[in-house]
Amino acid sequence: MRLAARSRAEGGIFYGFGFALSGLRVFILIAIWQTLVEGGAEVATYSFVALATYTILAEVFAEPLAARTELRDTIWNGSIVGRTLQPVGLVGTYTAEAFGRWSLRFMTFGPIALGLGAATGHLMAPRSPLPVVLLSLVLAVTVGLAIEFIFGSIIIGTRSNVWVIEQLRGATAVLLSGQMIPLALLPWGLGDVLRWSPFASVASAPLTLYVGTSAAIGTLALQTFWAVTLWLIAGWAWARSRTRLSALGG
């Protein structure tokens, strides 16, 4: 974990530009919510402050809510082969490295965004008990990592192009998971359908629990269901794909 965090930090202050860009994204989305929610009205049970809080937290926790590891890069450049020669589990290694990388964002961007949000009145206190929200976050990361390894297995097993699958997943997951736009704000009842998907358990679940637009028991139960189911699938798929592992690069 420490190695991964340090490796990211050794890029120097230029790494912080990514944070500045994240901040800009938050600012703009909050302005959009202001346009939609005029005069203190609510939109699909979301007040303006709730939407602003949702956006800030989605950005601060963007990396764990996306649950991306080095898996796709190492598959693509072939270095996954070298990792199979290490006397440690692959899943554990990738997960630990991911936590290391995420920790840098928590230590730098997180406090600034949360502090500014609170100071400007755009960050509300959690509407659900904090332990519940934290448990949901842990489950979200668990589900996210399971999806990550399932996709990794698909790439290895089908020898498909890494980048196409990953970019498709990345682009659609932000929308399907409710990370950018709360699912309740989507038209045609899409949100009602998507909230049952595993993607929603990765991002929408903890965020909606925090702002109080979802029920704790139902949300946690659904996340637990997906965590168990997907990890069973991930375990099976990963074991199968290990025997078909071939470096796609290098």
- Using CB under 8 A, list all residues that contact another protein: 2, 5-6, 9-18, 21, 24-25, 27-28, 31-32, 34-36, 43, 77, 161, 164, 167-168, 170-172, 174-175, 180-181, 185-188, 190, 249
Inter-residue contact 144 to 202 (CB < 8 Å): yes
Shortest distance in whole angstroms from residue 237 CB to another protein: 21
CB atoms within 10 A of CB 164: 10
Shortest distance in whole angstroms from residue 88 CB to another protein: 23
- CA atoms in the 13 A half-sphere facing the CB of 160: 14
Give the nearer residue to another protein in terms of CB position, either 21 or 125: 21
Inter-residue contact 71 to 237 (CB < 8 Å): no
Amino acid, single-letter form, for residue 140: A
Shortest distance in whole angstroms from residue 25 CB to another protein: 6
Give the nearer residue to another protein in terms of CB position, either 74 or 142: 74
The closest alpha carbon to 162, from 31, 250, 56, belongs to 250
CA-angle at 33, arms to 27 and 36, nearest 5° = 150
3-class DSSP assignment, residue 43: strand
Shortest distance in whole angstroms from residue 3 CB to another protein: 11
Shortest distance in whole angstroms from residue 231 CB to another protein: 27
